[in-house]
């Protein structure tokens, strides 16, 4: 059930911040990364997506955030960020800027002093976007801190929706990292369930064929991208094909939902690959244009297509805004795919590196001292 947004902002705005007692504590969350099957590319207003997107939550790629907080209504906000044990100015200023931007939603944040210790389970030089998992983890810690400060515990469904709402404001794709298995974000012309303010985890009954799905992340190039996601989204504003792309992705969301529900790997794969390539087609035809795929990305795509035809196996690719290739397939063919990667793709990968991941069970609150 969708909880009206008004409920999401009720908790803090209904309480006078100056009447709230000072408090301190420690919270810690682990939040997974996600891979979009239908891509979010283009946004308007305050992080509102221009088309619905649908993702699979990962298991092994996650961010962990441990936060010590001190709330004092007489103090101003302060934040100190460590990333993998070291101070990191870029990450710290991103978090500080985000916290300032959400003081309307969470008035207590203006009076918080935070010590954040963050890490990722995947190598940060791997060229895998970590903003979804780290911003989801940050949003979760803020929701936990809010519960500490006000001494109220909300229903878990409401808690995660609120975290999804806050994660969206930090990074759009992060709002999908709050749920197990699959998440859907954004309104559609074709179905009622989507919501622009936060993602939802309940996408209906999923067929057994899509209960255990793997993602082999093939690392092609880890150098810094020529265009950030934020700049990429912006290029859609004046893109001559943007409106058609939004309509296409909306229709693709419906098709992927149908495929997941009916266990239709052929339909799923066709849409998955088309979505990935049309995302890159948008980048290649924007002004200025960007080509983020590398020769080895294309060589891998060729080989995947050939292997699929030869072996008649449901192995498909998707790509985010970068050169790395994600291979998506059912766990039942994991041995074949591993063999294929090791024998035919390894030479095309940076230092032969790839990460084995799969569908995951969502975020987890962890012990601060773990
Ligand atoms: C290509 O969520 O990174 O990965 O909202 O500006 O932080 P911001 O963008 P971001 O965009 C992700 C784009 C994508 C597709 C997707 O994950 O849906």
pTM score of the predicted model = 0.95
Q: Could you tell me the pLDDT band of residue 211, with boundaries at 50, 70 and 90?
A: very high
DSSP E strands, the chain: 23-38, 43-44, 48-49, 53-71, 78-83, 86-87, 112-120, 182-185, 213-218, 316-318, 325-330, 354-358, 364-365
Q: In angstroms, what is the C-alpha Rg of the chain?
A: 21
Ligand 1 near 172 CB (within 6 A):
yes
Out of 165, 232, 233, mutate this one to test ligand 1's pocket (max ligand atoms within 8 Å of CB): namely 233
CA dist., res. 249 & res. 247, Å (int): 6
Closest CA to 198 of 234, 172, 237: 172
The count of residues in the chain is 370
Residue 236 Cα, ligand 1 centroid: separation in angstroms? 13
Ligand 1 near 130 CB (within 6 A):
no
C-beta of residue 77 within 8 angstroms of C-beta of residue 112: yes
CA dist., res. 153 & res. 147, Å (int): 6
Cis peptide before 288 (omega within 30 of 0): yes
Atom number, ligand 1, closest to the C-alpha of residue 131: 3
pLDDT value for 6: 42
Q: Could you tell me the pLDDT band of residue 227, with boundaries at 50, 70 and 90?
A: confident
Residue 135 Cα, ligand 1 centroid: separation in angstroms? 12
Atom number, ligand 1, closest to the C-alpha of residue 39: 18
CA dist., res. 146 & res. 153, Å (int): 9
Out of 186, 229, 277, 322, mutate this one to test ligand 1's pocket (max ligand atoms within 8 Å of CB): namely 229
Higher pLDDT, 127 or 254: 254
Residue 171 Cα, ligand 1 centroid: separation in angstroms? 7
pLDDT value for 1: 46
Average pLDDT over residues 69-76: 96
pLDDT value for 16: 74
Other beta carbons less than 10 A from residue 347's beta carbon:
9
Question: Roughly what angle, to the nearest 10 degrees, separates helices 89-101 and 131-150?
Answer: 50
pLDDT value for 97: 98
Ligand 1 near 229 CB (within 6 A):
yes
pLDDT value for 352: 96
pLDDT value for 125: 64
CA dist., res. 260 & res. 277, Å (int): 20
Nearest alpha carbon, ligand 1 atom 12: 173
Characterise 137 by phi-psi region: left (phi > 0), alpha (psi -120 to 50), beta (else). Answer: alpha
Atom number, ligand 1, closest to the C-alpha of residue 321: 1
pLDDT value for 224: 75
Average pLDDT over residues 146-172: 96
C-beta of residue 174 within 8 angstroms of C-beta of residue 63: no
pLDDT digits (tens, 9 = 90+) for 309-318: 999 999 999 9
C-beta of residue 24 within 8 angstroms of C-beta of residue 5: no
Residue 81 Cα, ligand 1 centroid: separation in angstroms? 23
Ligand 1 near 320 CB (within 6 A):
yes
Residue 259 Cα, ligand 1 centroid: separation in angstroms? 23
Closest CA to 318 of 270, 366, 363: 270
Residues 6+ apart with CB under 8 A from 237: 42
* Percent residues over pLDDT 70 in the chain: 95
Other beta carbons less than 10 A from residue 40's beta carbon:
24
Q: Does the pLDDT at position 297 exceed 80?
A: yes
Q: Give the torsion through C-alpha atoms of 200, 206, 212, 213, to 10 deg.
A: -70
The residue assigned the tokens 């069970």 is 361
pLDDT value for 15: 59
Ligand 1 near 121 CB (within 6 A):
no
pLDDT digits (tens, 9 = 90+) for 17-53: 877 888 999 999 999 999 999 999 999 999 999 999 9
Ligand 1 near 39 CB (within 6 A):
yes
Q: Does the pLDDT at position 12 exceed 80?
A: no
Q: Determine the straight-line distance between the first and last CA of the chain, rounded to whole angstroms.
A: 34
Pairing of strands 23-38, 86-87: unpaired
Maximum CA extent, the chain: 69
Residue 310 Cα, ligand 1 centroid: separation in angstroms? 34
The pair of three-digit structure tokens given for residue 303, joined into one six-digit string = 């080989």
Helices (H), 187-291: 229-235, 242-262, 265-284
Residue 41 Cα, ligand 1 centroid: separation in angstroms? 7
pLDDT value for 7: 46
DSSP string, 139-156: HHHHHHHHHHHHT----H
Ligand 1 near 37 CB (within 6 A):
no
Out of 38, 39, 40, 215, mutate this one to test ligand 1's pocket (max ligand atoms within 8 Å of CB): namely 40
Looking at residue 3, the DSSP 8-state letter turns out to be P
pLDDT value for 130: 86
Average pLDDT over residues 105-131: 89
Ligand 1 near 264 CB (within 6 A):
no
C-beta of residue 32 within 8 angstroms of C-beta of residue 166: no
Round the average pLDDT of the chain to a whole number and report it: 94
φ, ψ of residue 165 to 5 degrees: the values are: -60, -45
Nearest alpha carbon, ligand 1 atom 6: 230
């Amino acid at each position: 059930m969708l909880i009206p947004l008004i409920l999401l902002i009720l908790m803090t705005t209904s309480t006078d911040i100056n009447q709230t007692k000072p408090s301190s504590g420690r919270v810690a969350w682990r939040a997974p990364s996600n891979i979009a099957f239908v891509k979010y590319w283009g946004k308007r207003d305050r992080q509102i997506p221009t088309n619905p997107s649908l993702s699979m939550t990962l298991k092994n790629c996650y961010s962990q955030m441990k936060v010590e907080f001190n709330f004092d209504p007489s103090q101003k906000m302060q934040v100190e960020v460590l990333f993998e044990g070291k101070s990191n100015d870029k990450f710290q200023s991103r978090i500080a800027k985000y916290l300032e931007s959400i003081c309307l939603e969470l008035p207590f944040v203006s009076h918080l002093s935070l010590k954040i210790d963050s890490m990722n389970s995947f190598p940060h030089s791997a060229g895998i976007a970590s903003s979804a998992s780290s911003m989801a983890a940050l949003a979760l810690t803020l929701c936990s801190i809010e519960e500490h400060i006000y001494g109220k515990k909300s229903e878990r469904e409401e808690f995660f929706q609120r975290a999804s709402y806050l994660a969206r404001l930090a990074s759009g794709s992060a709002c999908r990292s709050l749920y197990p298995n699959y998440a859907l974000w954004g309104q559609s012309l074709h179905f009622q369930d989507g919501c622009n303010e936060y993602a939802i985890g309940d996408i209906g009954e999923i067929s057994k064929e899509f209960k255990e799905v793997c993602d082999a992340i093939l690392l092609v190039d880890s150098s810094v991208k020529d265009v950030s996601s934020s700049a990429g989204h912006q290029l859609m504003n004046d893109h001559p094909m943007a409106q058609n792309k939004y309509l296409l992705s909306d229709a693709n969301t419906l098709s992927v939902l149908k495929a997941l529900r009916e266990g239709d790997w052929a339909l799923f794969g066709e849409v998955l690959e088309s979505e990935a390539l049309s995302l890159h087609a948008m980048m290649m035809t924007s002004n200025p244009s960007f080509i983020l795929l590398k020769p080895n990305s294309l060589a891998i795509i060729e080989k995947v297509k050939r292997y699929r035809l030869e072996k008649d196996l449901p192995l498909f690719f998707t790509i985010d805004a970068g050169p790395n290739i994600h291979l998506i397939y059912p766990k039942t063919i994991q041995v074949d795919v591993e063999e294929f990667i090791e024998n035919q793709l390894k030479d095309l990968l940076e230092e032969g590196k790839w990460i084995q991941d799969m569908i995951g069970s969502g975020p987890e609150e962890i012990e601060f001292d773990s």
